[in-house]
Chains A and B, each alone.
Chain A
Amino acid sequence: DQQVKQNSPSLSVQEGRISILNCDYTNSMFDYFLWYKKYPAEGPTFLISISSIKDKNEDGRFTVFLNKSAKHLSLHIVPSQPGDSAVYFCAASGIQGAQKLVFGQGTRLTINP
């Protein structure tokens, strides 16, 4: 059973516009959520995170929103740049397994010039 789901395998956005990547989860015990970015032939790199006690966290062009009642989070990238083209993974961790990350399937974001 996939506890963290990214239902869009791919997303194409024009340069300068907003990119919105979505993620849903089923386990209510998750209390920390993260986004990772991955380029081909490289390991994932940490992008931004949010604790369950917050509903928004910003870092420059990246903002993550958390809707606990809907068990949904989203990553907004504004403005989108060509270097943002990558695969984005949503991940979650819970109190009982602080070192256990559960990942979504990933969304491939392509920024078109």
Chain B
Amino acid sequence: QQQVKQSPQSLIVQKGGISIINCAYENTAFDYFPWYQQFPGKGPALLIAIRPDVSEKKEGRFTISFNKSAKQFSLHIMDSQPGDSATYFCAASDSGNTPLVFGKGTRLSVIA
């Protein structure tokens, strides 16, 4: 049973467009929701993370929107660039230093 469901599996966006990736979770104990970016053969890199006390967090071109009642959160990449082409994973954990549960990933391709 996938505890964190991520969609879409793949996404093609024009350069300058907005990329949107969605995740949903079941475990109400989850209270930490990070997003990771991974290039082929590299380790996942922490992009941005949010906790349930806020509904939105923005860092540069990356924004997380969080809907606690719907148990959903999403990543928005504004002004998408070809260099953003990578696999993006959402994840969740229940407080502090506990293991992350990952979504299946979204392969983003930004085309010029």
- Please determine whether chains A and B interact with each other in the same assembly: no
Which B residues fall within an 8 A CB radius of A? none
Which A residues fall within an 8 A CB radius of B? none
